[in-house]
Amino acid sequence: MADSYIILGACYGDEGKGKLTDELMDQISDSIETPLVTRFNGGANAGHTVKHGDKTYYTHLIPSGILTEKALCFIGNGVVVSLVALEREINDLNEGGIVTDNRIFISDRAHVTFLIHCLLDQLMNESIGTTKQGIGNTYADKMNRIGLTIGDLLKDNYENKLRRLYGHYEALIDDYLIRKMRQKLVETHSLPSDFTVDNLYENEAAKNSFIDVFEIADRDGYLRINFEFKNEKNEVEKIDRLDSLFSRDLLLIENFRRKWKDSIVNGFSFMKSHMKSRMIIEGANAIMLDIDCGTYPYVTSSNCGIGGVLTGLSLSLKVMSKFKVIGVFKSYITRVGGGCLPTEQDNEIGEMMQTLGHEFGVTTKRKRRCGWLDLVQLKYSCQVNGYDYLNITKLDILNAFEQIKVCTAYKSKYDVLIEDFPSDEDRLKEVTPMYVTFDGWKDFDISKCTNWKDLHANIRNFIKFIEAYTNVPIKYINTGQEKGAMIIRDV
C-alpha cells in the first residue's frame, strides 16, 4: 500500500475527488503519524462534496482531509486565497462539528483574492463560464506582478499595497461605470445614441447641465458598483461604492492578520519538513480546465495537473516516487459553463443524467452539461498526468439506461479519424464522436457490492474496456456517496 497519493480530476471537474481523499485519509491515518493533506492550485472556485457520517460537508479552499481529525492541512503557494471565503468555510466547518484550530497552514507565497477581484469578474460579465469568484483576476495580478501575497498581509505596509492595487483598477472601473451611465441615460432620458460626457454641454436634447445629469445618474444608481457577495456569516452583503469596498477588504486583512498570523509559513520549508509524513495532495478543478493543457480559452487560470503539483507546492521531481497518482472520473461526462463537450447529450438522456446525478455545481449551483463517457479525452488525461490508478464514480447513475455508449474515437468534418485529443477548441467543435455501445445494468443495485465479483457482469466488462483503452487500471470503484462505499481492487 502506498504511503502518499496525488488525487487529480481526470476530466472537467466535479468527478468526486473529495470522496476519494476522505477514503484514503483513513488509510494513511491508521498509524501514530500525523498525515498531511494539501492543496496546490485554484481557489474558492473549487467545490468538493464529502459525505462524512450522517453529515455532508462542502469544501472550497480547505483540503477535504480536514474532516479527518488528526490530519494537518496545507494551502500551497499555487492557490489563490479569498479571505472572506476562507473565513466563511471555517465557520461552516466549525458549525458542522469539525475542529480547525491549529490544523491549517498557508504558504506565505500564496496570492490573495480580494473583493475587488470578484467585482471585476461581475462587471466584465465573462462568457466563458467562470464562477465569478475573482480567480482569473487574482492570477492575472500574480502574472503582472501587482498582486498581494499572504506574506504581504503580515507586513506593516499592507494598507499601502492594497491601495496601490485598487489604484491600478480604479480607472478601469470608472470607465465601465461611465459607459454604463451613458447607456442608461440614452435609454431612459431620451438622449441621442451619440451622447457622450464630453459633448454634453453641446447637446440640446439633454436639457440638463453637466452636474444635473450626474445627479440623475447617481440618484438612479448608474455610478454605483452594486456589488453583492456572501460575507463571513454566509449572508448577502451589498456595497455600492468603491471606497466602501476598499474599507471592507481592509477589514478582512485586519481580521486575517489577527487570526492567522501564527499559521502562515514558508511553503518550501513546511513541505520539506513534512516529506517523511504520509501525505495526500488534492487537486482542484481538473486537467481539461488546466490553463496550459485544457480546452483553452474555456479553462480556469491555474495548472490543475501534475505540473501544477510541482510548482504549487515547491516540490522537485525527485520526490514524486513517494506518490501514487490517481485520476478520478465519472462513468459519464459533465461540464459546467462554456466550451466544447463532444459527447454532450442535449436531450432526454442528458437530462436524466443531470437529474439522477444531481449535477449542479457546488460553488455556483449551475446545471452541469452531461454526456456519454469520452475515452479520447480520458486517454489524453492519462497520458498527460501519468496516472498509476483510476477511480470511477457514479456508476449507479447509469442504472437508468438499457444501453450505454462510450466514445472511442473522433472523426473530423473531412471524415478523417482523429487519434489524439485536439488542442484547438475550433477543431474540437467540428469533430463527430464515434461510439461503442454496451449492454447496461438497468436497475442493478451497486450499493450492495463490496468486491469486484459482486458487480454486475456488464459493469465489469465496461470497466475492463476502459482499462484496456487507457492502459491504466481502475483500482477504486465508487458504489455510493456514503463513507466506505467503495470497492478497492488489488491491481
| Euclidean distance between the first and the last CA atom of the chain, given in angstroms as a whole number | 11
d(CA 30, CA 89): 27
- DSSP-based three-state secondary structure for 281: strand
126 to 120, 129, 137, 238: CA distances (angstroms): 10, 7, 12, 21
Which one from 22, 48, 121, 290 is the annotated catalytic residue? Answer: 48
Give me the amino acid identity at 248: R
- Burial code (b: 16+ CB inside 10 Å, e: under 16) for 466-485 equals bbebbebbbbbbbbbbebeb
d(CA 83, CA 68): 23
- DSSP-based three-state secondary structure for 79: strand
Helix 375-385 crosses helix 457-470 at what angle (to 10 degrees)? 50
Which one from 14, 22, 108, 290 is the annotated catalytic residue? Answer: 14
Cell numbers linked to 30: 491508521
CB neighbourhood size of 78 (10 A): 28
Our answer to whether residue 424 is catalytic in this structure is no
Cell numbers linked to 99: 475542529
Q: Which residues fall within 8 angstroms of residue 282, CB to CB, at 6 or more apart?
A: 7, 17, 18, 21, 37, 38, 39, 48, 63, 64, 65
Our answer to whether residue 48 is catalytic in this structure is yes
Residues identified as active-site: 14, 48
